Amino acid sequence: MDKKTVALITGITVIGALEFTRIYVPECVDNKLKYRCRYVLNHFVAKLAKLGSLLGVGSEPVLLRKIIQFAAKKVDLNNYPNIIVTDRIVNGNRIRIYKSKNEINEPKSIMFYYHGGGYALNSLDNYHHILLPIASQLDIILIAIDYPLAPENRYPTPVEESFNITNYIINNPKDFDLLLDKDRIVLAGDSAGANIAIVLSNRFKSIDKNVPKLQALINPPTQYINMLLPSMIRYSSIETFLPRTKMILWHLGISNVDKYQEDYLLKNYHTILLDDENKPKLMSYLDINLIPEVYRSCHEYINYDRLKGFVYPRAIIKVNDRIDKNYENLVKNLFNENISPGLVEDEILKKQPKTYIVISEMDTRKDEGLIYAQRLINNGVECDVAYYHNGFHTSFFYAEQVGCLMRNDLINYLRNNL
C-alpha cells in the first residue's frame, strides 16, 4: 500500500471519528457510545432504504420494513417453558397468542398488544422478544395483533382492522380455545400501537362501559395537529433519521414523500385548514399549561406563548405545487378522532378506563402524552404516569437499562391492577 493510499485511509478514519464524536447526545443519556452507534446504524439503514427507492427497487417504507424484519431478534422458546405460543389468522391478519401451559379452568385477564412502528414498520416477530417475557411473568392471556401496514394499507385500515380483530376475539373466545374474563381486558401498545389502543378504547367504551378495564400506553402519539409542541422543538434532532412527519404521511398512504409535504406538516400549515369553530377548542385541548410544571422547566416551555403566531400560522409563506387540494384533503384526516384520539371531547374522556402512561423525557411525543394524561385526570379518570428522565421514544423496544425498567414497571403495574 503506497503512502497516498495510507494517507487517504487515515484521513477518512480521522474525519469519521471526529464526526462520530460530534453526534449530539443528550446529557441524560447513560451510555453515550451505544447511543452514537445506534444513531449511525439508524441513519445508515434509513439512507439505504431511501437509496433503494431512488433506484426503483421498491418504496422506501417497504424496503425499510424488510431490513428491520431481517434484523428481528430471535428468541429461544426453551427459556420460557411455562408459555404456549400460537399463531392464528383472523380476517386475513396474523395474531400471536401467548398463554400459560398450566392454565386452570377459569376465566383469565387478557391483554391485546398493538406494536409500534408509525403504522408502517415492524411486526409480531419484531416484538416477540418483548412480549414473551411479559407473558411469562403475568398470569394472563396476551394477544399481539399484526395489523396491516401503511402505506399499502392507508388510514383508516390499520385501526379498523385492529378493532375488527380485537372485537371478534372478545366475542368469540372459544374459536381460539380461550377462557377470558371480559371484565378484565387490557388494551396496550407502544408508539403507533398506543395510538391504536386509545382509539379502540374510545370506541369500545361507547359499546360496553366495562371494556376495557385498563389501557397501558407507552410513549403514545395522541394527536397529529400541533407538530410544534415544546418537546418536538427541543428533541427534533433525535429523530432526524426517520422524521415523524414522513411516517405520518406514510400512514396517510403517500409512499414517496418529498420535503415540501413534510415541511407543510412540520410548520403546522395544515392547521390553517381547521375551521374557525373547531380550531380554538382543539388548541385548548393542547394547552401546554396542562403539563405539570415539573415537566416543563426548560426554556422551550417558558417562552412558548411568544411563539403562537409561529406555532399556529395564518398563511403559507411559500406555496409549492405539491401542496394541492388532494394533499390538503388527505391531511385533513389528521383532525379525525380516529387518528388524533387525544383530542376527543371531555364527555368521551370521562368514560375512559384506568390508564397507565409511559412518558420518556427525550421524546418529541412527550408533551402530548402528558397533556392527554392530565385531561384524563381532569375528567375524573384514574391515570398513572411513569416518567423516565433518560428514556427515548423507542426505549421500551431495546434491551438497555431504561427499556428493561420500563417493561418491569409495566409488569408490576399490571400485576397489581388486574
Count of residues in the chain: 418
355 forms bridges with which residues in the sheet? Answer: 215, 383
Distance (Å, whole) CA 161 – CA 233:
33
Catalytic residue flag (residue 191):
yes
Which residue, among 96, 368, 338, 336, has the nearest Cα to 201 in the 3D structure?
338
Count of alpha carbons within 13 angstroms of residue 321, beta-carbon side:
0
CA dihedral 372, 375, 379, 380 (to 10 degrees): 70
Paired residues of 108 in beta bridges? 180
Collapse the DSSP code of 385 into the 3-class scheme (helix H, G, I; strand E, B; otherwise coil) and give the result. Answer: strand
- How far from the centroid of its chain's Cα atoms is residue 234's Cα? 18
- In a 3-state reduction of DSSP, which class is residue 36? helix
Q: Are 50 and 60 in contact (CB under 8 A)?
A: yes
Quote the cell numbers at residue 262.
Answer: 413534510
Question: Rounded distance, CA 258 to CA 106, Å?
Answer: 54
Separation CA 108–CA 199 (nearest Å)? 24
Residue type for 190, please?
D
Catalytic residue (one of 59, 109, 191, 201): 191
For residue 187, the cross-strand partners are 112, 215
* Collapsed DSSP state (helix, strand, coil) of residue 239: helix
Q: What is the DSSP string of 301-351?
A: HHTGGGGHHHHS-SS-SS--TTS-HHHHHHHGGGGSTTT-GGGS-HHHHTT
| Closest listed residue to residue 296, CA positions, set 361, 385, 372 | 361
- The reply to whether omega before 61 is within 30° of 0 (cis) is no
Contact 165, 145 (CB under 8 A): yes
What letter represents residue 36's amino acid?
Answer: R
Q: Are 82 and 156 in contact (CB under 8 A)?
A: no
Cα 290 to Cα 280: distance, rounded to the nearest angstrom: 15
**What residues act catalytically?**
191
